[in-house]
Amino acid sequence: MLHNSNFIDISLNSRWSAKKVNDRKLSKKLDYKHPFFQDISVSYREHFNSKEAILNRKLEFYNSISYTVLKDGQDPIRLKIHIGDIVELPEESEGIAYAKVKSIFRYQANNGQYYAFFFFDWFQATNIMDSVLECPFYNIQKPEESRWFQIFPITFIDRNPCVFFIHNCGNTCNTEHDEENRSYILNRYYYNAV
């Protein structure tokens, strides 16, 4: 698997069974009805500069991915990213945007090469601060909100995650967090301390 010469030693870990893929309401077959189809087509064109139609129809999903990033004047960085990790990405209007890794998958391009992608749920800034913690509230996007692009090649993440969001627990969170409650607090203090 190859993305570019600065992303090496890529290994995908714990491939999902067909049952697990189905349980997550996904499909290993990429057809026009697949929720990823539009994003993959665009991603493929934009990031790999390919105008060819997508030929291959098979997706493979994984629990985590490891890779090494080489940058000029730096020691190589070994990254390991799991589903559920929260990452930061450069964003034009907000400077930094935050997202949770929802899926990790690979796709075989027309040239026979495999490429790995992340599927993200984005955190939306609310401009509301927690008065005690003085940390900002964010809302994680709802599954049906698809106005943002959600699929990115792994080259968008070139450092290990060090972002800390705390669920803004209400009385519906008990032994498990209530995922219907989409409010989170960005813990800036922890973040700055890293």
Binding site for Zn ion (CB under 5 A): 167, 169, 173, 177
List, in order, residues 6 or more apart from 60 with CB less than 8 Å away. Answer: 12, 15, 16, 28, 105, 106
Roughly how many angstroms between the first and final C-alpha of the chain, as a whole number? 32
Owner of token pair 């929802």:
102
Q: How far is the CB of 23 from Zn ion (least distance, A)?
A: 23
Is the CB of residue 82 less than 8 Å from the CB of residue 101?
Answer: yes
* CB of residue 140 to Zn ion, shortest distance in Å: 12
CB of 35 to Zn ion, least distance (A): 26
Kindly state the smallest distance separating residue 165's Cβ from Zn ion, in Å.
Answer: 11
Identity of the residue, 18 or 173, whose beta carbon is nearer to Zn ion in the bound complex: 173
One-letter amino acid of 58: K
Q: Which is nearer to Zn ion, 28 or 167 (CB)?
A: 167
Nearer to Zn ion, 1 or 169 (CB): 169
Answer yes or no: are the C-beta atoms of 82 and 124 closer than 8 Å.
no
Burial class, 136, CB count within 10 angstroms (exposed 0-12 / middle 13-18 / buried 19+): middle
Structure tokens that stand for 76 in this block: 């190589």
In the bound state with Zn ion, the residue whose beta carbon lies nearer, of 36 and 123, is 123
In the bound state with Zn ion, the residue whose beta carbon lies nearer, of 76 and 84, is 84
CB of 177 to Zn ion, least distance (A): 3
